[in-house]
Amino acid sequence: MAEHETSFKASVDLMFDRAAATLDLEPGLGDQIKANNNVYMVQFFVKFRDGYRIFRGWRAVHSEHRLPVKGGIRFAPSVNQDDVEALAALMSYKCAIVDVPFGGSKGGLCIDPRDYNEFELERITRRFAQELIKKGYIDPALNVPAPDMGTGAREMAWIVDTYRNLHPEDINAIACVTGKPSSQGGINGRVEATGRGVQYGIQEFFRHPADVKKAGLEGGLAGKSAVVQGLGNVGYHAAKFLQEEDDVKIVGILERDGALVSDTNISVEAVFQYIRENGGVKGFPDATFVEGGIRVLEAECDILIPAAMEGQITLQNAPRIQANVIAEAANGPVTFEADDYLREHGKVIIPDAYLNAGGVTVSYFEWIKNLSHIRFGRLDRRHEAHKGEQIIGAIEEMVGKPVPSHVRDKLTYGSNELDLVRSGLEDTMRVSYQNISEIYNSRDKVPDLRTAAFVIAIEKIAMAYTEMGL
């Protein structure tokens, strides 16, 4: 990020202030909401063959107006306390925006996971988890982590096992973390959830012609072009679904080692497989490779999807961004100054605190599943199918003809867990966008979708505090 620009944490706080200024909050309430309530910093060591290594990690708790607090744990060499606090704040706002009844938290361990083998990573993760559990920073009722950058279902399985060993009496132990493998109490559809939510969010934006027009575009999503930064879990799923299900043309892909561009359409799945086999995009046969690919953020396209990390669009490159819509799949990809600049120059940003909330939404479903100790759909799937058979029977009796098999198949289908998760996620993303768009279009003082989203978050959290009598 450019030296003179505000940090990630300051950016999130300034975005908060901009929205809070449009509201009539009681004095001091905004400051209470904005600040992190507490942060636990831990330093621990793990013994390896060649000696001890020391690790430093954090878990920040932002707002506890709802419990448990929720948010991922990231493993990255760049992790620091300020960023963890910014991410924890975004989690509180995110949950409020999509009506998920959690407060916000975030954890980070300063480590490059690529420097360790699986065995070593497991020991490090379990040690970090133990420290957090001891202090109540992992607990099914109080603080529930999930995957984030550099972590996934594997790490969550180690964490849940560590918690279970320390609390064998806790009947809800598996609800202490979400994003687990399905064999360990995870839920179907959690891995794809954030990317899927990005897809649903962009689809819903294109169902709002007035908002689409403000971005200088018209028509639906089909046929629009997009550039995506980062084919990690979020970027890969979002770009893949948009390409395969919505007819979006992917004309640029940025990765660690460079970028790919093409006038036609780059197959996301083919690039993803290529990266798996070759470690990067260089040499991919069906697109042009661009060395030091960051300039590809400035390529001509309708939708730019930064899905990598914070601070990618700054005042240095914002003036050259050509995309009409910036869909923030990552947390904090646009700095506060760049955000102002882009708005003033007619760009529309679909903000992170809304757009990437699909992950925590499905985490909420997983947590509920864990507390209820039963898989979604287990009780009603067959019942739903039998109802369909009865309807078919009645129709056939009335018209005296058999119902065609493709209709029969649809009517006698009972929803499984994945169907229900997708349905809940789609509904959440659609309704939340409608709420944001309504505020954006009806309040004069609200200049953009981000401010509208923050207004919703602040109003909800403020209401929770006020009603509690605090």
Report the interface residues with ligand GLU, using CB under 6 A.
70-72, 146, 148, 178, 331, 356, 359-360, 363
Catalytic residue among 9, 94, 106, 347: 106
Beta carbon nearer to ligand GLU, 233 or 335: 233
Three-state DSSP class for residue 236: helix
Residue 11 or residue 324: which is nearer to ligand GLU going by CB? 11
Q: Are 105 and 60 in contact (CB under 8 A)?
A: yes
Kindly tell me which of 20 and 89 has the beta carbon lying closer to ligand GLU: 89
State the minimum distance, in angstroms, from the CB of residue 67 to ligand GLU: 14
Q: Given phi > 0 = left and psi -120 to 50 = alpha, else beta, which region is 370?
A: alpha
Residue 168 has, within 13 A of its CA and on its CB side, a CA count of: 1
Inter-CA distances, 417 with 189, 272, 462, Å: 8, 27, 34
Outline where 102-192 has alpha helix (H): 118-134, 153-166
CB atoms within 10 A of CB 418: 14
Q: How far apart are CA 177 and CA 129, in angstroms?
A: 11
As a residue count, the chain comes to 470
- CB-wise, 148 or 204, nearer to ligand GLU? 148
DSSP assignment of 326-388: EE--SSS-B-HHHHHHHHHTT-EEE-HHHHTTHHHHHHHHHHHHHHHTS-TTTTTHHHHHHHH
Q: Quick one: 147 or 258, whose CB is closer to ligand GLU?
A: 147
* Cα–Cα distance, 193 to 364 (Å, whole number): 11
Cβ at position 178, least distance to ligand GLU in Å = 5
User: Minimum distance between the CB of residue 227 and ligand GLU, rounded to whole angstroms?
Assistant: 22
Nearer of residues 90 and 251 to ligand GLU, judged by Cβ: 90
Instruction: Give just the sign of the alpha carbon dihedral 151, 156, 162, 163.
Output: positive
Helix axes 417-442, 358-372, angle to 10 degrees: 130
* Nearest distance, CB of residue 102 and ligand GLU, angstroms: 8
* CA 358/CA 60 separation, integer angstroms: 21
Residue 106 known to be catalytic? yes
Which positions are catalytic? 106
